[in-house]
A = this chain, B = another copy of it.
Amino acid sequence: MAEKIHEVINRLLTAKTTRFGVPPGTLVEDISSRKAKVTLIKYDQNTYSSEEIADLTKLNDTIANADPVSVSWLDVDTVHDVTTLQSIGEIFKIHPLTLEDIANPHQRPKLEDGDGYLYLVLSAIYLDSKNKEIIKEQISFILAEGLLITFQEKPNEVFNIIRKRLETVKGRLRKMSADYLLYTLLDVVLDNYFIALNYVNEQINHLSARVDKHPDNDTIYEIQELKQELLVITRYILPIREVLWDLMKIDSEIIHESNEIYFKDLSDHVLQINESLEVLKDSLVSLLQYANSIIGNKLNEIMKVLTVVSTVFIPLNFIASIYGMNFHHMPELEYQYGYHAVLAVMSGLGLFMLVYFKVKKWI
């Protein structure tokens, strides 16, 4: 997990520097780029179609022939394919600076009112169920009347659940406009935040058990790392609330007034995520203080053992040493029961000490 965090910070930092010296509004071709998979889903209350668009020029016809009541959802599964981005930018007349923001996977969440469309970008996190890692990716949305374009940083299955619902359930989602689709996708994004926090909570419980037993350096290290991971997540989630507020206040016909209540609902979810984050962070701080107190108490216990043993035996040993001296004239040595008397004194002294420590609650 530790490496993950440093990676996150590294990306946060290197994001800007890789663009260093390049004029703004220029798309930088990424080395790891591969052809993006572009999927177009069209639906209304009765019909549903889904096709992968290999040749983007066909998209023009599709858009032109658009049924005014249907909704089109165009999904681009990676932002590292600059050619595809540029083509889509031209077809839908997206501003070059917006395109650059889409391509650069290190934006702060924000909402921009473009010419005929809204541009919304935010950071999603989801739990990689295999590696038990929290993955961060940036998702960009272009919302126009009857059209939603989603740009994912890298291919993943976060939105599959909605695709399946669109295909199988003729419910409310199929009747509503494109902004409702946006709401549904954002809801899935926030659900994934809850899942991730749930996983963090489990980890805290594990760490808590480990602190109880044996608060070693590794445990403390992991608590620190988890705390920092929460800090980074906080930085992802907090600006989303501003974005949702802007979305509700925006004077745009693309967001239907009757749907504003749904975005308010999302805003409440963000608040709730943030409060859970605060509680989790407080848990970790408490856990650290608890671990430190336990370390302190352990030291006390160790020292008590040492002190009891030393304090009991050092004086006894001293007595034995006295009668181990080789003076010619030591009358006690010649007593018939001198040896037994000394043993008795020693036993008495030792017992007395043990009782004393018992009273002091050291043993």
Contacts and interface: CB of A to CB of B under 8 A. Distances in A.
A252 interface: no
23 contacts: A13-B194, A13-B197, A16-B190, A17-B194, A19-B191, A23-B169, A23-B172, A24-B187, A220-B290, A228-B283, A292-B293, A293-B295, A299-B303, A300-B302, A302-B362, A303-B307, A309-B310, A313-B314, A313-B317, A322-B343, A325-B333, A327-B339, A329-B339
Contacts of A362: 302
Contacts of A50: none
Nearest to A195: B17
Contacts of A23: 165, 169, 171-173, 184
A201 interface: yes
A302 B305 contact: no
Nearest to A271: B108
Nearest to A95: B261
Interface stretch (A4-12, A35-43, A56-64, A78-86): A4-12
Nearest to A309: B311
A97 B288 CA distance: 41
Contacts of A228: 279, 282-283, 286
Contact of A327 (B220, B232, B323, B329): B323
A75 to B, nearest CB: 18
Interface in A137-178: 161, 165, 169, 171-173
A268 B16 CA distance: 11
A280 interface: yes
Nearest to A20: B191
A16 B274 CA distance: 13
A2 B93 CA distance: 53
A227 B287 CA distance: 12
A231 interface: yes
A45 B205 CA distance: 55
Contacts of A292: 292-293, 296
Interface string A272-289: 100110111011001111
**5 smallest beta-carbon distances between A and B, as pairs:** A320-B321, A323-B325, A327-B339, A306-B307, A16-B194
Contacts of A279: 9, 12, 228, 231-232, 235
A194 to B, nearest CB: 4
A311 B305 contact: yes
A277 to B, nearest CB: 10
Nearest to A227: B286
